Amino acid sequence: MSERWNAQVQLEHLQQKYAGAGNADTTKWEWGCTIRRDSLASHIGHHSRMLYMAIAENESTSRMKHNMLWKMVQPCGPPPPKK
């Protein structure tokens, strides 16, 4: 019993520590948000990729970054209504 409880605590600790760590009840929407946010953060971190995207949209890299950061707030639209 205590062992199982320990595992539970550890999992919770991980979820607390690392945003986006999933659990058995993670919904598709939550998972999608995590993926999109991770990808956006990765794009922002790689300047050469930002240049590539900025060329496609013909915007400055600072505006691209700003738009992407905003997109991280709600990357996959609102959460689906609960059943």
Which residues are at the interface with another protein (CB under 8 A)? 18-20, 30, 33, 37-38, 41-42, 44-49, 51-52, 54-63, 66, 69-70, 72-74, 77-79
Q: Give the angle subtended at the CA of 76 by the CAs of 20 and 18, to the nearest 5°.
A: 10
Q: Dihedral of CA 22/28/29/35: which sign? A: positive
In whole angstroms, how close is the CB of 6 to another protein at the nearest point?
24
Q: Which is nearer to another protein, 11 or 35 (CB)?
A: 35
In whole angstroms, how close is the CB of 36 to another protein at the nearest point?
10
Q: Write the CB contacts of 27 (distance below 8 Å, at least 6 apart in sequence).
A: 79, 80
